[in-house]
Every structure is written in C-alpha cells, then in structure tokens.
Chains A and B, each alone.
Chain A
Amino acid sequence: MFIISCSDDDAPLPENEEEEIAEVVLTFTPVSGGTPLSFTWADPDGEGPQNPTMETISLAPNTEYLMAIELMGPNDEDITEEIAEEDDEHMFFFGWTEGLFSSPSGSGNIAARSGMVNYEDADANNQPVGLRTRWTTGDAAAGTFRVVLKHQPGAKSATSTVEVGESDVDITWAIAIQ
C-alpha cells in the first residue's frame, strides 16, 4: 500500500501541471476573408500572487467573425482538446456591453441563460459548447467582453445557468470596435 522512500534527500518529483489553464487565446476570423485576429490572456504563475496579462480585443465595425477559443496549460498542453472530449460537461457563457454586436443582440447569456449567443458547436445531447461561436460587430464602440467556462458534470442542460457548476475560466476582457 505504501512506498518506502528510497533516499532521504529526495525532492518531490516534478509534476506535470496538466490542469491549470495558463493561457487563453480568442481568435476572431473574418467570415468574408482576411487575417485572423488573436487576443491572448496569460497567467504563467497560476495561483501565485502575480496578476495575469491580457490584450485588449480590437475588432472592425460591422464585420462578421467566427471566434475560436484555445486553452493552454503552463507547459503548452492543449486543454482545448480535453474540453472538446468532455463537451457534455462543459459550456462557455458570454456576457458583453450591450450594443457591441448587432448579432447576437442583447448582452449575452450570463445575466440570463435565455440571452442569445450564436454557438457554432454542440455536444452529443445537442447542447451548445462554445469553443466556436459567431459574432457580427456593430458600429464603433467600447466595453467589456466576459468569457466564462463552466464545468457542469451531470448538470449541463438546456436551462443550466452560469451559476451551475464550477468556473474553470472567468475572464473579463476590454474590447474596442474601431
């Protein structure tokens, strides 16, 4: 049952911190063609006291984008893939300053689950996931854009709100449409 330690001056073996999300990248690709725009949030020290760094999201007005979310561990492990494998337990919620987007209208599905978000993916139960979403910007404006990833094992449904489950990601970005 237990291992007798081999030597008395051993340090703990290095652990592969697979779970901690250290980097989140939002990539907006214009549907009509053009260069994809990526915005990175990074916190290499995880639960350490250093604050994370993030880039302001900057998008062109009246443009339709497909947004992809990528999540990476501290040693560049691909966590996006893990979320995709467990998509029936995970869901991204979005909340933004009203008026930033012409589609979806409103302010997202954080304040109320019924708020509209254009999901481009679904899990086996046909519930949205949010690794891929569609956005059409409005006129020039500025505000905030909040992305919340909830882990809702056994609790994800058509009505489960942002208050269900644990927050794996909760990041509020500054955004400018210009």
Chain B
Amino acid sequence: MVHGLHSSRVLIINNGVRHESQSWGAEHAPEIDPTMANSIRLIKGAAAVKYGPGALGGVILVDPLQPRLTTPLQGSADLTLHSNGRSARSSLFLERGYSGFAWNVQASGLYQGDLHAPDYMLTNTGARERSASAGGLYHRGRLDINLHYSYFQQKLGILRGSVVGNLNDLAYAMQHEPPAYTGDFSYQITTPHQQVSHHLLKLQAAHSFDQSSLHLQYAFQANHRQEFDVRRGTNNEVPSINLELLTHTLDAEWKHPNLGRFNGAMGVQGQYQDNNNIPGTNTAPFLPNFNSLNLGLYLSESASFGRSIVDAGLRMDVFSASVRGRDRQNEIFSEELTYRSLTASLGLLRPLNAWSSLQTNLGLAWRPPNMAELYSFGKHQTVVEYGMRRQTIPREGENELSYKWVTTFSHEHNRLAMELTGYLNYIQNYIYARPAGITTTVRGAFPFFVYDQTNALLSGLDASFSFQHSPRWVSSLRGMLLHTADVQSQDRLIGIPSNRLSYALAYSREQLGRYKNFSAGLESLYVFRQYQAPPVISPEALLSAEGSGNDRFAASSSGFDFMPAPQGYLLLHLTTGIERGRLGLRLGVRNLLNTAYREYTNRQRYFSDELGRNFTATVKYHL
C-alpha cells in the first residue's frame, strides 16, 4: 500500500526487475519470498521514471543480498515458529566472495496449517511455500557481471466458508459466525486454493568508464497461476484458472559524465509478454491469451543550484498487445490494442537549515488498463464481473493518468526526528468495479460488477515522529490520513484504506551481561473505521428489491457495499530479542489482546474475523 494505492497501481521491482505476474487480483500477493528481501525501499522523485508505466502509487524496490567480493564463507540459518497456524518457516543463506568472483545461495520453506481468529478456526487457510535462489558476481577491472536465478512456489488455502453460490448464500454467510465448514485445526489444504510458481532469471552487466557507466540487463520471468474452486466431481481437482505468463525484459542505461551541474542517466527498456491459458479448465477462460510489447525511452537528470537539488525525469512508452480470447459460446474474439503515454517528474530538494529540509515533487504517471479490467468475464471468487471491452455496450478502456504532487518536510534535531508528507493525486480515468445489477443464474440471483472509469482525487498525509527519551528508550508515533473523492460523480470509492495511528515504545541495550543487542518493544496500532465507505445495500435488500421488480441500479451509477465498514480496532504487539555469540533469539506476540476485528480492505471481512493472538519465536544462527 503506497499513498492509498496498491496492486496494479504500485510497481514492485524485485532484484532490479519489474515483477510481472497476474497482479489484477487484489488478493493475489506478489510471488516474492519475504525471507529473501534484505531491503525494501520506496522510490521517490525522478529516479522512478526508469522503471516504466504503472507507478501511480509509487515504486517499491525489493532487494535481496547481493554477492559480495572478498567475503569469507559465511551464512545463516533460521527457524521461525508461529502459534497461529502452527507454522514453521526456515531459511538458509550461504555466501562466499573472492577478489574477482562471489556467489550466494538461499533456500527457504514454510509449512502452515489453519489460522485462527480469536473465537474460531479459519478452516482451509493453510499455506506452503518453497523458494530457492542463487547469485553470482564476476568482477574484472571495470566490468561487473551479475547472474541471478530465483524460484518461488506457493500453495495458499482460501477460507472454506467464503464460498458462496448466490445472494442468499452471501446473506447467510455474512450473518453467521463461525463461518460455514469451520472445523478442527488441520494442515490440509482443500478447495478453494491457489497455487503459483514464479521463476526469475537475470543477467546483468555493468561497465564503468572514466566518468560514465553503461548498464545492460536481461531478465526472464515465468509465472504460473492456478486457482482451484469448489466444483463438482473430478472438476474439484481441476483448476478453473490456469494461466502462464512469460516475460522477457531488456534494459540498457547509460549514466552520462557530469555536464556542468547536471548528472543523470538515459535508457531504453523493452518488455515482451506472452500470456496463455493452459487448456483443460473445463470452463470458459476468465482472461484471454495475449502477447504484448512495451517499449520505453527515458532520461533522468539532477542538478545542484546552491544548496538545492533539482531533479527531473521524462519517459515515453508505447504498449501494444494482441489479444485472443473465447467467449461463452466458445467463439474466438481477437483485438489489437495500443496505448502510449508520457511519464514525467520534476522535483526540488531544499535544505531549510542544518536540520530540516523540504522536498517537493510533481509527477505524471500512467498505466494501461490491465487485462482483467478489459476482458474479465464471469465469476472470480465471490463476484461476477465484466471487463470494459466485454460489456453489452463495450467501453474502449482509456489509460489511467495520475497527476501527483508530493511534499515532504524532514526534520532531525537533538532527540527528535520527524517526517511529514502531504500528497495530492488526481487520477484521471481511475478504473474500478462498480455494481451494475443482478443477474439471474441457475444458482439464483447474483450481483454483477462492471469495470468503469471515473476521475478520482486522493489527498493524504503521512506523518512520523521519533523521540529519543534516553540512550535506551525511544518512542515513535506514526499516522496516516487519506481522503478520496470521486470528483466526477461525487460518489465514494470502495476499498480505500482507512486512517491509522500507531505508537511504539522500544528499549535497547548493546550489552546485557554476557548477552548483546537486547531489545524489547511494545507497539500499538489503532485503525479507524472507514468513514468514507459507500452506502450499504444488504443482500436481503437486493433480493427483496429484485423480487418486487425494483431495479436498485437504474436510479444512479452510485456504488454500494454489501456490509457496513467494520469498526475501528486497536492491536497491541510485543517483541523482544537477544543475541549471544552466533546465536540470536526473538520472541513476540502479535495481537496480544486477542482482539476480534475485521479489516476494511480485506474482502474476507464479509465472512470472518482477522487473526487472533499469535506467539512467534525465531532462532537465528550465524554460520
């Protein structure tokens, strides 16, 4: 979640490569092993233009540890246990570096059973993960060559009680706790579940010259996603979505010599994708097959004027796709699409005094509609939806364009550090799914959603303060405020994150007797109720309106939700850690008060509470 946006509107750069997957599903987590991420950073300013279209919210860089030269053989092994889900996660990391060559390898796995809410089990929410990676660095003179391969595989159970056949089922599921099919704890994962695998291969070369450097990178990604629904008979073993997405990316960048006060880089990026339905799902494909090509050219520069730094970036992209799908009648349809637009950024960083600075940035970003927004047709999870080009009166599907202004004030003086960020993001042609009617199927009445576009304005404030009470005690306070408006129809948008406030108190000591790096902390998080949620029309109201022939959708295009936004909630987390020699130990409790709560942005909130208290323990051994 970056500045109120997520999924298709945030670019994830995994180890220098645009992560390409079926990111159209809000519940599809990125296929990246969390244990592998050594650093996660948010890119601000003009540097973001090198990563391409899609960064309406921002760019997140996820970087694993890189191979390091002249490093003795070393590594670490760790094991993490969670009481909630009775899970074990383990990972192993090894590295070795010589003067001209270095390598590292990593492997990890997760085995998790059913999670539980404070008052009941969440049946069929187990998970399995396996991942492995290997990296090599060759260094000679001014040349560096990097080769990296990683594999990630995940099987993820979906709450059994969240499967609904029609509006009656939905009404029942929403009113009853515990959810249907709630059973005893089990490690078993049955339908519904998702299975994904992701391969990433990257070859990168960098050559430095006297005052400039050249970077070349090729990456190949293979993403395979299968979704298994509750179906009759042998179809229960057959995925109803089975998609394979292959992505080739080629990057070339030249960091040019400083020209007077200017330094910067220019580059080209090409990306070719091939998306295919793997036959045998026994159901009409939810998404079509497509091949797409994106070509981008960019320039980013920064210059110092006195104590101020100005940075600017400009990028031009052309995206074209050839799409072939099949409709319900098994007829082939095919379309050729072309989208193009500019990405631009202009920023100023200005120190105000020795301890404060102001950074302000104007940005233009865009993304073409994704394939689900254009072509989805039918039921996915609990909703029936139709993409923009598959509706009775098809819509073209325009680029989403974001005009964003971000300003950050940073201050660090004595024992106080603070950062205040305000932003305004006007998104033209904002794509969202709007409830558009009730369709009668053999399963009974079902609400359906159509993808539509509007103009939205997001305005927000992120604030963080940290105060060092003493060398050992530090407090930090963070807050996030977000206001969104559909400026075209004055409606409220659904699924926008609500405001939140957190406070943490931490204690740390470098030495504690024979132990070192002792730390302990208490964190409290309060999430406010989403006061901007759209009006509620319950399934019962929809059913009775339908029964009386009263079309609730005819009057306006206004959005609604089936359930009111959940109440605000308070969570407390405790964590403590200590090290001795090569051994490190961390203990923690998440949701200490065992608060029963539901999170507005999680679609599961119609069916069940979020996770209850979770005790965690991690042992890490440095080899």
Contacts and interface: CB of A to CB of B under 8 A. Distances in A.
Interface of A: 1-5, 8-22, 24, 41, 43, 45-49, 51-52, 74, 79, 82-83, 85-86, 148, 151, 153-155, 163-171
Nearest to B285: A12
Interface of B: 163-166, 168-169, 172, 176, 180-181, 197, 222, 224, 230-233, 235, 244, 246, 274, 276-285, 288-289, 291, 322, 324-326, 328, 330, 332, 334, 377-379, 384, 386, 392, 437, 439-446, 448
A85 B328 CA distance: 27
B164 A166 contact: yes
17 contacts: A2-B222, A5-B244, A8-B274, A10-B289, A11-B325, A12-B276, A15-B282, A18-B282, A19-B232, A19-B282, A43-B442, A47-B378, A48-B439, A79-B232, A166-B163, A170-B166, A171-B444
Given A3-B276, A167-B165, 15 more contacts: A2-B222, A3-B278, A12-B276, A12-B288, A12-B289, A13-B277, A13-B279, A15-B282, A15-B284, A43-B442, A47-B439, A153-B230, A167-B444, A170-B166, A170-B444
B156 to A, nearest CB: 17
B567 to A, nearest CB: 26
Contacts of B445: 170
A49 B197 CA distance: 34
Contacts of A43: 440-442
A69 to B, nearest CB: 12
A169 B443 CA distance: 4
Contacts of B440: 43, 51-52
A170 B165 contact: yes
Contacts of B379: 47
B248 to A, nearest CB: 12
B279 A12 contact: yes
A83 B442 CA distance: 15
Nearest to B333: A11
Contacts of B230: 151, 153, 166
B281 A15 contact: yes
A74 B324 CA distance: 22
A15 B289 contact: no
Contacts of B246: 4-5
Nearest to B334: A11
Given A49-B392, A169-B443, A18 B235 contact: yes
Contacts of A9: 322, 324
A166 B232 contact: no
Contacts of B232: 19, 79, 82-83, 86, 151, 168
A33 B287 CA distance: 51
Contacts of A86: 232-233
A16 to B, nearest CB: 6
B196 to A, nearest CB: 11
B235 A19 contact: yes
Contacts of B277: 12-13
A83 B384 CA distance: 24
A88 to B, nearest CB: 13
B444 A10 contact: no
A1 B168 CA distance: 40
Contacts of B377: 47
Contacts of B326: 11-12, 14-15
Contacts of B244: 2-3, 5
A170 B546 CA distance: 14
Contact of A8 (B291, B325, B378): B291
B391 to A, nearest CB: 8
A151 B163 CA distance: 11
Contacts of B168: 167, 170
Nearest to A43: B442
Contacts of A15: 279-285, 326, 330
Nearest to B547: A172
A19 B283 CA distance: 7
Contacts of A153: 230
Contact of A52 (B180, B328, B392, B442): B442
Given A15-B279, A165-B180, A49 B166 contact: no
Nearest to B183: A154
Nearest to B275: A5
A17 B238 CA distance: 12
A46 B328 contact: yes
A46 B329 CA distance: 10
A25 B439 CA distance: 21
